Amino acid sequence: MSVLKKSLAALGVCAVAASAISFEPVTAGATESAKKLYNFLAVNYGVKTITGVQTGDIADTYDALPDVISFEEHSGKKPVLVGLDFLFANGIKASDSWYKAYTQSAVDAAKDIWAKGGIPAFSWHWKDPSHKQDAFYTKSGNANEFTEFDFTQGFTDPSCNTNCLWNTNSETYKQIVEDIAEIAVYFKQLQDAGVAAVFRPLHEASGAWFWWGSHGGAAYQALYQLVYDQMVNINGIKNLVWAWTPQLAKDTDWDPGKDKYDVIGLDVYGANDYSQKFIEAYTDLQTNFAAHNKIFAMTENGPIPDQSVMAENKTVWSWWMPWYQTWNGNFLDQTVESVWKANVNSECVITMDEMPGWDKYTMSTTKVADCIVGYKLGDLDTARPVENRIPADTATNRWLYAQLLPADTARGNIIIKENADLSKNSKMSVTVFNGSKTNGFWFTVAFLGNKDADWGWAQPEGCWINAGDSTVCELDLTTTAKDQVVLTGADYTNFMSNIAKVYIEVSVPEFNGYVFFDDIKADGVTFENFDEMTTVKAEQAQNLKAGLVGKGKEMSIQSKAHVQKMAQISFAGRSLSLTLSKASQTSVQLFNLQGHLVKNFANGSLAAGTHQFTLQGIPQGAYIIRVKNAAGISAKKILVK
């Protein structure tokens, strides 16, 4: 390495990666706007990363989109790429007025995003084309809301394992094609308006939780190719940059063909990681798809891949797109403020204020110049607040709780009953409360058979509980599998009547917090409500603590940080003192006991040391003073006299 290159590396220079990617999209006869969009991605690829965010709540304009507003609140800048979804455009309820309004607002927002110089990017959570269920999940993806639509029934040979051919006279084929045509109508609106967009259909390819990923690679390839050919060659849609998203970087058997997409994306989540998972994902894509000469993008993520680390490892993604903050997603919270600020203010990361405007954009075959990232992740305060809640009724009701600590995987089996007979039961329900505001988790019940059941281990399909959610999880006991084989008939009856232990099994990537369980019922009859239990045991547990809380017990779960750097708050008379151990972006807010904001004392950069704020003019009464910065959230109840 030359002295110059060593110096540039020390400064965090994002250098141009060697690449033979094309500077034009794969679609023949692409519109001028599509060519500009793809060219912009191509000339920046390997050097600069484009900011993005997915939307949940919708609005007609870019500036009114709640997730765009939240992005700016978190980072101080606005994103270039905005994820939209045709989630409500097809299916049994597509004619519902709210569904239609949502979809049209997404299209109108795309027009405004483009007009402001941004990039609209459409996903398609494709609802059941047979219009039997308002769902896109398979049963394994969501046991409470799923479709059994089998698109292979549209093939001449549904059992095909290579070169699957469509039976164009089949009802299934006609249903699929009709749905594609419905989506094409919306893209035609954009095309006629001179707007281009990224389109990411059939995402997370091998993930069997979506109906399109449930029948193997060959069938999936045929379906993706049909979507592309119908959209482009039959419906004449030429304004799209196509993104293909495998579930895993090694899914080469699911590849629909490099002439059918411009970008390969991956969806990577991990609440405590800005670096390692993203480096590994990029490296794996290079290993398996480098010969395709495609752009690599982070098409969904929780925390953002840090630009300084990506540049250092030559794994610079074309764009990243945290999932939505609205709809109780809270994914923008998974990146702390210091990391947000450093990334969006780097000259190697593109925000909306830096876009040239599509009417002014000139296409090029030359990569943009190298840039200096300007910071290092290790120099930032990346302490991550851990906020937890507990159920509101612990004074009168007892819950089982599991405390899960951060690690690659936190898992364990909590014993809830011994010597049980469930042979006559088919359903089990569990009331679940997720105390974490940033992590979802997966769980199920599990069974250890006694000696008459060969001491075997079996479990039914489980439930995923989103961050902050509470729900009654319905478990289908008829899905109980032993050695990966679902038990039926006499095998089911014998095993389920000879249960030595019943467990709650949890398996949670990078979870940090508490989860609570109550009122386990078998076919509606109480199986265990924990009111009479006094102790809890766990087996095969890693990074897991379990216990009971409630019925007069108190459980103290406070906001904390992995690295304790919380602000110190003191209060006397009508003077408030705040001491910070280091400079940081900090908000200081006063709330009444009903949760309403009374006053903003500060919202910006505060130096290390002590800061004074006056409460003159604040009416007498009890209040909560809250301080929030990259180290976490600190709150204190005060009484103003």
| Selected catalytic residue, list 72, 178, 300, 510 | 300
Contact 223, 288 (CB under 8 A): no
Residue 528 burial class via C-beta count within 10 angstroms: exposed 0-12, middle 13-18, buried 19 and up: buried
The alpha-helical segments, DSSP class H, found in 116-216 are 171-192
Contact 560, 385 (CB under 8 A): yes
Residues across the chain: 641
Q: Which of these, 142, 146, 170, 144, lies nearest to 156 by C-alpha position?
A: 170
Paired tokens of 213: 């990923």
Q: Which of these, 354, 252, 338, 339, lies nearest to 301 by C-alpha position?
A: 339
Q: Which of these, 157, 83, 163, 166, lies nearest to 119 by C-alpha position?
A: 83
Q: Which of these, 324, 115, 83, 90, lies nearest to 199 by C-alpha position?
A: 83
Q: Cα–Cα distance between 114 and 100 in angstroms, integer?
A: 21
String of b and e for 105-123 (b: at least 16 CB within 10 Å)?
bbbbbbbbbbbbbbbbbbb
Three-state secondary structure call for residue 509: coil
Paired tokens of 454: 């060969």
| Selected catalytic residue, list 24, 171, 204, 510 | 204
What SS3 string covers 228-281?
HHHHHHHCCCCCEEEEECCCCCCCHHHCCCHHHCCEEEEEECCCCCCCHHHHHH
Q: Residue 446: beta bridge partners?
A: 503
The alpha-helical segments, DSSP class H, found in 412-511 are 489-496
Residue 612 burial class via C-beta count within 10 angstroms: exposed 0-12, middle 13-18, buried 19 and up: exposed
- Return the DSSP state at 483: T
Q: Residue 470: beta bridge partners?
A: 433
Residues contacting 276, CB < 8 A, separation 6+: none
Neighbours of 554 (CB within 10 A): 9
300 flagged as catalytic: yes
- Fill in the amino acid letter for 546: A
Three-state secondary structure call for residue 100: helix
Q: Cα–Cα distance between 118 and 536 in angstroms, integer?
A: 54
Q: Cα–Cα distance between 115 and 108 in angstroms, integer?
A: 11
Cα within 13 Å of Cα(263), Cβ side:
29
Straight-line distance from the first to the last Cα atom of the chain, in angstroms, rounded to the nearest whole number: 67
Helix (H) or strand (E) segment spanning residue 367: none
Q: Cα–Cα distance between 283 and 295 in angstroms, integer?
A: 13
Paired tokens of 558: 């406070």
Paired tokens of 419: 């010597």
Contact 456, 495 (CB under 8 A): yes
Q: Residue 122: beta bridge partners?
A: 84, 199
Q: Cα–Cα distance between 128 and 599 in angstroms, integer?
A: 49
Catalytically annotated residues: 204, 300
